[in-house]
Every structure is written in C-alpha cells, then in structure tokens.
Structure 1
Amino acid sequence: MTTLSKAPVRYVDTPVQLRRLCDRLKDSPFFALDTEFLRESTYHPQFCLLQIAAADQVACVDPIRLPDLDPLWQLLYESDATKVFHAGFQDLEIFHHLHGRLPAPVFDTQLAAPLLGYGDQIGYAQLVEEVLGVTLGKGHSRTDWRRRPLSPQQIDYAADDVRYLVPLYLELRRRLEESGRVDWLSEDFERLTRPETYRNPPQDAWRRIKGTRRLKGRQLAALKRLAAWREETARRENLPRGWVVKDDLLCHIARLQPQNPQQLKQLRGLSDKAVARYGQDICAQVAAACDDAPEKAPPRPPARTPRQEALLDLLSAVVRLRAEAQNLHPNALASRKDLEKFLADPAGSRLCQGWRQQVIGDDLVAFLEGRRHLRVVGGEPVLDEAAA
C-alpha cells in the first residue's frame, strides 16, 4: 500500500494553484483521474469537479471557479503519462466534449479486473475492497456537485475516487505483468481513445429507441427523421432527449403521422408548451418522410431451436472451463452475445482475434469441428482432445 491514503487533499480553485499542481505532476509516469458531473437537466454533462492523483499527492480541481483549465489540458494532452480511470467512458466523454480530442495512453481498472478473475463491470468501491481491503464510504453519493462551497467531507469523499485508484492501478498492473496479460488490454484501451467512440450521429439515433420493430414503411421512415431531429435539437438546446420528446411519444407520432400541430395536441403526454415549441418542426419531419423510400423494419432474428440453445450452452461450458483454467472471469472471455455472433460468423468474431483467439477461439472452433469434446470425469466436466 502506498502512503497516498495519508496525503492531504489539495483543493485547487485559483490559476496559481492549478499551475503549481500541473508542474508537480508533469514528470509523473502516471496519474489517476475521475470527474464529478451532472446531466439530469442537460444533453451535455456538466463538468463540476476533477480529481487527480499521482504516487504522492491527491488534488481536487474546481472547473466551476477556475477561469480556464489550460494548464490541465496541457498536462493531459501533451504528457506521455498513463491516465488511469475506473469505468472511464463518461470521464473521457467530458474531455472529448470540452476539448474535442482524447488523452492517451489510458488504463481502465474496470476493464483490467476481469483478466485477473474479478467480476465483469465490477464497481470501483467493490474492487478497492477486494484488492486493497479498504471499505469506501457512501455518505455523499447524492451530492449536487454544482453547489459551492463544497464541504471538507464532500472533498474528501471525492478524493477517495483517485486516492485509492493509484495503489489499485499499481497492484493490478503488477499482476497483469506477472501473468503476461498487459498487452491483452491494448485494443480495449485504444478504443477508449478513439473520437468515434463518443459520437452520436443523428442519423443513428433511432437505433436507441425501443419499439421500432412494430413500425414499418412510412412509419419507420418518419421515426428515423424524428429521432435525428430530436438528437440535433437536444444537442443544440443542451436538453435531455426526453425533455424534447420522450421515446414512446416519438414512436406514437411516427405511427399516427400527424399533419399539423392541432393533431399533435390530441396525443396524451405531449404538452401544449411542447406543441407550441416543436409542433411545426415535428410535422415537417413527418411530411418529409413521405418523400423517403419506405423503410423495412429491422429483421427479427429467427428463434433458436432447442438444439441451437443446447449448442450455445455447450459453448458456454467450454468458456467457463477455459476461464477457470486461466483465472479469468468468463465474461472477459465471451458473453452469450459473443457466442451467438461466433456461431453466425466464426472468422469475423472477436473470439477469433487477438488474445481471445489463443485463449478461447481456437478451442471453440475445435469443439465445433469435433476435435475437442466435453466429458465428465469424477463428476466434473473436462474438455479433451477428441479420440482419433
């Protein structure tokens, strides 16, 4: 355990303090990062606090009080230091939104944990407890991080998110190096630093809406236009998508094809204020969809037969046996969806690429081809070479 748990927390809310902090951190080979943000009433996350730690110090940076964060951006984007996160997607999304690009290289302890036998998508507090034996408090999990001043207790609670991330990273990295698995994570970490990971193209917005399979033809064409319009509107006005029009209402509008705002007023759940604000735009999207080629509903995957389900169960058993032998969490090797995609296209599956091919992909292919088989020995399943 490092001595970081005893280090005082620096609260940084002036330009001088920020420059000094960044000067102290610039030669560190790594630093741990976390953010506090709110997005309940906005489309874009509201950046409220940044926590940062290195081997011998921890600080909370206040982006609300600071006039600019230029020294911090320089540290993040120009340093070769490893930026350590736990479940870093949303933190990195903030950096991408504010600065238009992403810091690299990164290390995510949530992605690393399953390669050492811990649960898939394990939470930070649970991982800290299991690896470091430290139980973190939960007393300020409902804090409104926009409000100032923050209390010493709130600052200390926020600092814990990086205070223990440093020794957690060092321990996980040490174990990964011992097992020769550090490189296994390269592709996953690289994906976190791709700008396209954080983009939401308006033309694809309809894919996130449930209930689209019940729409077809002109209805589905209308939904695609409506979803794209809503995405652009929410982004422009910085509002949650559901504050513009809720998902179920969007589907209902696409189904009914209203021609004017007066018809929109007949829909339950759409307020007069929303009709006045967006009614003309909504009806314009519906009308424009009439000129689009009718859309075919996404095909439903065919129902699997009992034999196909049994085959998936057998492949899952192979995955579990290999995961146990390698001290891996099974989902780190292959989820049920991974196995479904593997059966549909083995060569194109991620299970036959990179490190997964060596650990599980070759075995799955051999099992399907009859070169491996499952049998029971002493009441336990075993994966063996098939007899010649």
Structure 2
Amino acid sequence: MTDAPSAEDLEPEDEVEPEATPLLAPADGVPKLAIYPSDIADAAELLASGTGPFAIDAERASGFRYSNRAYLVQIRRAGAGSVLIDPVNHGGDPVKTMAPVAAVTAQDEWILHAADQDLPCLAELGMIPPRLYDTELAGRLAGFDRVNLAAMVQRLLGLQLMKGHGAADWSKRPLPADWLNYAALDVEVLIELRAAVAAVLAEQHKTEWAEQEFEHLRTYVAPATRRDRWRRTSGIHKIRNPRTLAAVREMWTTRDGIAQRRDIAPGRILPDAAIINAATTDPDTVEKLTALPVFSGTRQRRSAQVWLDALARARTMEVLPTASEPQTGPPPASRWSRRKPEAAERLEAARAGLAELSQRFSVPTENLLTPDTVRRLCWDWQAPDDSDHVEAVVDAFLAEAGARAWQRELTVPVLTAALTAPPTPTPTPMPEESAPEA
C-alpha cells in the first residue's frame, strides 16, 4: 500500500519566486537544423553518444494546418547536447527517415512537458517512449498553482524562459533563426527540471503516484472521435430547427473535406460564424450568398457554388438531425435535482469529499479522478445487497474506468461515504391553520 503523505509533508511552499536569470540562448548555441536523411542519421548518432534520458519536444502548426503532425522535433541528451530535426521537409517517408532517431530514443526514458500534446504526433513518426516523465503532470501532482514550462523553470531552477513562438505556424519554411532558438530552449533545461520536480515529489511521498500516472499516459489509447464533430461548430447552440441543422452539417462536412485535402485548418477555409450565418439565412443564389459577411470576399466568391451546393443538399434531405445528439452518458448535472434527486445528493457529497481530499493532499480534484467518472458513478449507482461490499464495488467501477491504484486508494473511502449517506429527508409541509371564527 502506498504511504500517503502526511499534512506536515504537504505544507505549501513559499510562493515568492526567486529572482530569475533570463535564459536567452542555448549554452552551446542553436544546433544546425537536420533536414535530409543523412543529417537526421547524424543526429541519431550524436544522441547515441550521450547517456541518460532524452528531453523531447515537438512543434506543430495548430490553427494553421488540418493535421496535428510535428513540423519540428527537438531532442537533448546529456553528453550529446541538443538536435533540431525537420521531420517533413526531406520529401521521403517520415517514419523511414526518422527510424534511426526512433531506435536511439527507444533506449531510455523520455522527458516531456505536457506529454499528451506531443506523444500522438511523435507516434506518427514511429517514435514511442519506453518510459516517460511528464514535468507538467509532475507539477500538478506536486500541487503547483502554475505548471506551464516557463513558470516551473523559474520556480525550480531560477531561470526565465522568454515568451516565444509556441503558437506560430511551424509549417513555414525556412524556419526563422529566432524560432529555432526558441525551440532549442524548450529542451535546454528539461533534464534539470525533471530532477528538481522529482525531488519535490519525493519529499511529498508522491513518487509512486507519479510513476503510475506516467505509465498510464504512456500507454493510453484515446477513444475514437465521436461521429458528430460538426456539432462543435461555434454558435450551433442557438439553432433548433432540424433543416437549419442539416445545412450546418452539410457546410461543415464540405469545409472539413476541403481542409483535410489541402491540409489547412478548417477555420481558415471558412469561419464557423459564416457557416451559422449561411445556414440560418439559407441563400439560394450566388448574389444572396455573397451579400453575406465573409462570403463577399474574393476567395469566397470563387467558392460560392461549393457552399450553395451544400445548402441545396440540406434542403432536399429526408432524414434530418435532431437538436441534440443521442445521449450516451448522464445528463448535465444541473438537471439531476429534477430528474434524479438522489443522484444529485450523491454527486454533491462526492464533490465535497473530493474537494477536501484535494486540499489535504495538494492534488487538483481532476487529477484525483476525472469528473466524468465521478458523474457516471453517482448517476448509475445501485447499492449492492451486501453493504459490506460497497467499497469493493466502488473500487471495481473506478478500475474499469481506468483509475490508477493510488487514486482508488485515496478516493474509494470518500466515494463510499458519499454513496451510502442517508438521503436528506423531505420536509413535511405544515398544515395550514384554520382561520379563527369571526
């Protein structure tokens, strides 16, 4: 059983941050960008000459491209220094070209910050970590208020990372020199940061918790994306008419196909607001469509018939979408008190217990258990015939939902108490007193 940290171990640290030293450039300079297969093979050979874990980061072009692919990979290892790799600009198969790097980095632990963002695009390159350390997740478990890379580097290492180009279009070529400098700095101190935050977790007796979280993250397989992605269109909540919803769906699907084919972010093809506007007004001629905002531009005028065709398809559809997609889980918690008041009481008690647990152990409630798991447990709960088995039933439910051992150890007693608490009695209305006789 995990030794739970005591209250004394979890005294909040002094939040006054030390005077930070600006980190303006890598100590050994910005490495030359490896572009061609021979360059990438040389980078792999250099990394193989080092020792210990690999600090890894990747830059994408979110908001600019449809895909979530990596357009730059940064890796650092003790004894080898840093390498910057362009995994897409060599004209060949990225997985084949990156194979030497994937083979080398498969030999030791990876250190990433916010690993869930980078692991998918690195996997597309054939790079899979044998072990993982996520410094952002470690910061959450340590109870840090701010866990972005710059804040943690300043807090633990006394260094100041300057704001840079994280939201830039990393598909741009050639990459500017200041962007490459920024990218190299992202892995410059990751190894040192890992050691520093690991020491904090050790002091708090949370090392085992972190190890379980990192392994879960490393092996996690995301569920398939829900089919009705078009329902995420911004502003769709205002629409209830099925025919109008069909128009939104047809325009969204058309836009998505164009965006995927051209590898451009959908919002750069046509903004969500323009889709909602066109679906609501339902123009049936080029003149009416191009009179709308956005569609009057030169680029949209050239594509006017594409959008008119989508609207025309929606007008003739026999099967129309409903205002909301079929429900697969509990309804919004705001409706529980009317539909299932006993579940609402369970959820309130569970949230209160988890909030106290979060404060006691300095771990965010969402890291103790996912909110969806708690909602499903409280909504679907059916007490077992044997009251002595409640904890076992709760533990099995959490395990099935993917909760780690340390999470179950902490939360099962709290949730058991919430689920078995007697319901609040409904007040009996007082009889009205008879009016006195005149």
Do they fold alike, i.e. is TM over 0.5? yes
Give the structure 2 partner of residue 24 of structure 1: 46
Once residues 107 and 380 of structure 2 are traced to their aligned partners in structure 1, the CA distance between those partners, rounded to angstroms, is: 39
Give the structure 2 partner of residue 277 of structure 1: 302
Give the structure 1 partner of residue 352 of structure 2: 317
TM-score by length of 2: 0.67
Give the structure 2 partner of residue 378 of structure 1: none
Give the structure 1 partner of residue 183 of structure 2: 158
Give the structure 2 partner of residue 329 of structure 1: 364
Larger radius of gyration: 2
AA matched with 2:109: T
Q: What is the DSSP-based 3-state SS (H/G/I as helix, E as strand, rest coil) of the residue aligned with 1:50?
A: strand
TM-score by length of 1: 0.75
Q: What is the DSSP-based 3-state SS (H/G/I as helix, E as strand, rest coil) of the residue aligned with 1:135?
A: strand
Q: 1:88 aligns with which of 104, 115, 126?
A: 115
AA matched with 2:44: C
AA matched with 1:363: V
Does 1:112 find its partner at 2:163?
no
Q: What is the DSSP-based 3-state SS (H/G/I as helix, E as strand, rest coil) of the residue aligned with 1:10?
A: coil
Q: 1:247 aligns with which of 269, 272, 280?
A: 272
Q: Is this contact kept in 1: 2:136–2:148, CA < 8 A? A: yes
Identity %: 21
AA matched with 1:212: I
Q: Is this contact kept in 2: 1:116–1:175, CA < 8 A? A: yes
Name the CA shift for 1:245/1:134 in 2 (closer, same or farther; >3 Å).
Answer: same
Alignment coverage as a number of residue pairs = 358
Does 1:365 find its partner at 2:400?
no
Q: Is this contact kept in 2: 1:43–1:235, CA < 8 A? A: yes
Name the CA shift for 1:317/1:58 in 2 (closer, same or farther; >3 Å).
Answer: farther
Once residues 152 and 416 of structure 2 are traced to their aligned partners in structure 1, the CA distance between those partners, rounded to angstroms, is: 34
Does 1:11 find its partner at 2:36?
no
Give the structure 2 partner of residue 380 of structure 1: none
Q: What is the DSSP-based 3-state SS (H/G/I as helix, E as strand, rest coil) of the residue aligned with 1:220?
A: helix
Name the CA shift for 1:166/1:37 in 2 (closer, same or farther; >3 Å).
Answer: same
Name the CA shift for 1:357/1:45 in 2 (closer, same or farther; >3 Å).
Answer: closer
Q: Is this contact kept in 2: 1:315–1:339, CA < 8 A? A: yes
Name the CA shift for 1:142/1:114 in 2 (closer, same or farther; >3 Å).
Answer: closer
- Give the C-alpha shift of residue 336 in structure 1: 5.6
- Give the C-alpha shift of residue 124 in structure 1: 0.7
- Give the C-alpha shift of residue 162 in structure 1: 0.7
AA matched with 2:286: P
Name the CA shift for 1:204/1:293 in 2 (closer, same or farther; >3 Å).
Answer: same
Does 1:354 find its partner at 2:384?
no
Gaps of 5+ in 1: 372-388
Q: 1:287 aligns with which of 312, 328, 332?
A: 312
Segment drifting more, 268-277 vs 122-131: 268-277
Once residues 56 and 167 of structure 2 are traced to their aligned partners in structure 1, the CA distance between those partners, rounded to angstroms, is: 20
- Give the C-alpha shift of residue 207 in structure 1: 2.9
Q: Is this contact kept in 2: 1:44–1:235, CA < 8 A? A: yes
Give the structure 2 partner of residue 385 of structure 1: none
Does 1:34 find its partner at 2:46?
no
Once residues 345 and 119 of structure 1 are traced to their aligned partners in structure 2, the CA distance between those partners, rounded to angstroms, is: 33
Once residues 149 and 259 of structure 1 are traced to their aligned partners in structure 2, the CA distance between those partners, rounded to angstroms, is: 44
Q: Is this contact kept in 2: 1:223–1:254, CA < 8 A? A: yes
- Give the C-alpha shift of residue 342 in structure 1: 4.1
Which deviations, in whole Å up to 9, do the C-alpha atoms of 1:16-73 show, x marking residues without a partner? 5533331232375531111344455433468554321112333242528767665544
Q: What is the DSSP-based 3-state SS (H/G/I as helix, E as strand, rest coil) of the residue aligned with 1:322?
A: helix
Q: 1:188 aligns with which of 204, 207, 217?
A: 217
Q: Is this contact kept in 1: 2:61–2:167, CA < 8 A? A: no
Once residues 99 and 58 of structure 2 are traced to their aligned partners in structure 1, the CA distance between those partners, rounded to angstroms, is: 14
